């Protein structure tokens, strides 16, 4: 490290002094011996566990609970689907707040709080007697999910990985699919043998005993908290896509790319929410047994693992918008297969194609946001964008449920969903980046001009 002269030291004030200290810290870190295993990989593993138990076990298993709860409590499917709307209201109200709090206080305390809310909510859900009670509980659980899952995990991994960000996202978000695949079988077995209330108790206790300790002991929001740098390939530009670059929240509202991402998230939420939460019920209506329908959903969750692992590297190599367009086209094809699933082989084909395509959004949405709008205000901006996904995720199942209550069929809804996914694919292809990140030299010019 080059020694500093007294004149240099005295002249380095304000932003230039901070940048000089940062350079010295970076050089000292590079000189230090490297750890055998980069801690960012532990972060990916911790996020995997969190998403496995919170998103996979709670959200992705709801189709297994849907019909048993409706029949047990004698509620219509449309009325029960309103619980998902209440959950979406909870996520909508909490998403921007959670994002802002994560930006300000870090992910760990917010994630622990969210996990506690979900665990207690499921325990309380096992005791409900009235529909309005379920609505309140789902609203609280929705808020907890935003605090503990997609927003903080996307933010953490984006901080830890500049290079291979999509691959890291893919491995972490595989947890939602593995959780949905394995816990769909577990939940179905518990429901058939002990009832859905026992399944709620088991899920809530598991979250409280496992997720909260994992968050408190393993999660770190930024590499600097443990004296490390973000993972970066040697050939990567050291000045681009770091946490110091990014548009403000108000500025984002004026940018075309923000609304393009928002529209895509809304449409995908609408379709996957509507199709996913009614597919098991639809298949049983077509004469398939509950076990066969549950098996198809487990296949969806299983193949979604491959989708997440595949779409992350695809986005790293060819760009997030092209990966998203491919996923939307595949979703449109899979919906047509489900609509005409008169043979179980077609059901399996639907499950494979739909599951693979559904692996894309959770991985690619944060990549589109980070690459196009920057990391400086990622939590707040991605929180606002998730409002659109949540609104779509609520409107889809409610609309499909009430359409079925009136017309006793899902097929026109499925045709509509197909058209929406084709439109989302072309919308993804039209995305253009807000602006290129400023280089380190360009960033310090305003400071010099102010002197």
pLDDT at 244: 60
Which tens digits make up the pLDDT trace of 197-254? 999 999 999 999 999 999 999 999 889 888 888 888 765 555 444 556 677 888 888 8
pLDDT at 12: 42
Query: What secondary structure letter does DSSP report for 237?
Result: -
pLDDT at 322: 92
Cα distances (angstroms) measured from residue 65 to each of 68, 189, 197, 421: 6, 11, 10, 27
Indicate whether 441 belongs to any domain: no
Say if residue 4's pLDDT is above 60. Answer: no
Say if residue 10's pLDDT is above 60. Answer: no
Say if residue 439's pLDDT is above 80. Answer: no
Please provide the average confidence, as pLDDT, over all residues in the chain. Answer: 82
Q: Tokens in use for 181? A: 């695949």
The angle formed by the CA atoms of residues 270, 317 and 390, to the nearest 5 degrees, is: 15
pLDDT category, 9, cuts 50, 70, 90?
very low
Residue 74 region by backbone torsions, left for phi larger than 0, else alpha for psi between -120 and 50, else beta: left
**Average confidence (pLDDT) over 143-149:** 92
pLDDT at 6: 39
**Average confidence (pLDDT) over 112-130:** 94
Say which CATH number the domain at 297 has.
1.20.1250.20
The angle formed by the CA atoms of residues 76, 81 and 140, to the nearest 5 degrees, is: 130
In sequence order, the 6+-apart residues with CB closer than 8 A to the CB of 404 are: 77, 78, 278, 410, 413
pLDDT at 203: 92
pLDDT at 32: 37
Say if residue 30's pLDDT is above 80. Answer: no
pLDDT category, 371, cuts 50, 70, 90?
confident
Say if residue 282's pLDDT is above 50. Answer: yes
Indicate whether 400 belongs to any domain: yes
Indicate whether 227 belongs to any domain: no
Indicate whether 297 belongs to any domain: yes
In sequence order, the 6+-apart residues with CB closer than 8 A to the CB of 260 are: 427, 428, 430, 431
Range of the structural domain that residue 118 is part of: 39-221+241-432
- List residues bridging with 161 in a β-sheet: 231
Indicate whether 200 belongs to any domain: yes
Residue 58 CA to residue 177 CA, distance in Å, equals 11
Phi, psi of 243 (to 5 degrees): -70, -10
Residue 268 CA to residue 209 CA, distance in Å, equals 33
Indicate whether 392 belongs to any domain: yes
Indicate whether 408 belongs to any domain: yes
pLDDT at 342: 83
**Average confidence (pLDDT) over 140-148:** 92
**Average confidence (pLDDT) over 347-375:** 88
Greater confidence, 397 or 450?
397
Which tens digits make up the pLDDT trace of 65-85? 888 888 889 888 778 878 877
Cα distances (angstroms) measured from residue 443 to each of 19, 161, 239, 275: 10, 22, 10, 46
Residue 60, classed as helix, strand or coil, is coil
Indicate whether 310 belongs to any domain: yes
Say if residue 113's pLDDT is above 50. Answer: yes
Q: How many separate domains does the chain show?
A: 1
Say if residue 359's pLDDT is above 90. Answer: no
% residues pLDDT > 90 (the chain)? 33
The model carries a pTM of 0.69
**Average confidence (pLDDT) over 380-388:** 85
pLDDT at 448: 38
């Amino acid at each position: 490290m080059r020694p500093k002269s007294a004149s240099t030291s005295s002249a380095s004030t304000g932003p230039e002094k901070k940048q000089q200290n940062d350079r010295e810290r970076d050089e000292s870190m590079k000189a230090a011996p490297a750890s055998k295993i980069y801690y960012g990989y532990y972060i990916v593993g911790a996020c995997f566990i969190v998403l496995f138990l919170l998103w996979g076990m709670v959200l992705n298993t709801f189709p297994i609970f849907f019909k048993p709860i409706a029949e047990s409590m004698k509620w219509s499917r449309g009325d029960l689907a309103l619980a998902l709307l209440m959950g979406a209201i909870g996520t909508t109200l909490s998403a921007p707040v959670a994002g802002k709090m994560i930006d300000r206080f870090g992910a760990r305390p917010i994630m622990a709080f969210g996990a506690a809310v979900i665990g207690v909510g499921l325990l309380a859900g096992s005791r409900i007697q009235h529909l309005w009670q379920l609505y309140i509980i789902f609203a609280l659980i929705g808020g907890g999910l935003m605090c503990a899952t997609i927003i903080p995990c996307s933010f953490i991994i984006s901080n830890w990985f500049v290079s291979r960000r999509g691959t890291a996202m893919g491995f972490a978000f595989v947890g939602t699919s593995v959780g949905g695949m394995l816990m769909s079988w577990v939940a179905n077995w518990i429901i058939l043998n002990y009832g859905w209330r026992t399944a709620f108790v088991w899920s809530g206790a598991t979250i409280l005993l496992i997720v909260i300790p994992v968050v408190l002991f393993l999660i770190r929001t930024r590499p600097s908290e443990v004296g490390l740098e973000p993972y970066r390939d040697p050939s990567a530009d050291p000045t681009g896509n770091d946490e110091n670059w990014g548009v403000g929240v108000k500025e984002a509202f004026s940018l075309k790319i923000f609304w393009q991402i928002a529209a895509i998230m809304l449409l995908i939420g609408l379709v996957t929410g509507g199709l996913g939460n009614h597919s098991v019920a639809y298949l049983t209506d077509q004469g398939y047994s509950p076990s066969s329908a549950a098996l198809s959903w487990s296949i969806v969750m299983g193949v979604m693992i491959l989708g997440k692992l595949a779409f992350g590297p695809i986005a790293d190599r060819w760009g997030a918008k092209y990966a998203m367009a491919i996923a939307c086209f595949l979703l449109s094809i899979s919906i047509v297969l489900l609509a005409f699933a008169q043979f179980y082989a077609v059901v399996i084909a639907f499950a494979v194609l739909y599951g693979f395509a559904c692996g894309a959004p959770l991985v690619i949405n944060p990549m589109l946001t980070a690459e196009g709008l920057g990391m400086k205000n990622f939590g707040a901006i991605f929180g606002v964008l998730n409002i659109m996904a949540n609104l779509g995720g609520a409107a889809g199942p409610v609309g499909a449920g009430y359409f079925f209550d009136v017309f006793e069929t899902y097929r026109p809804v499925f045709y509509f969903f197909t058209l929406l996914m084709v439109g989302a694919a072309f919308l993804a292809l039209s995305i253009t980046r807000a602006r290129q990140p400023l280089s380190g030299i360009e960033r310090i010019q305003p400071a010099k001009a102010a002197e």
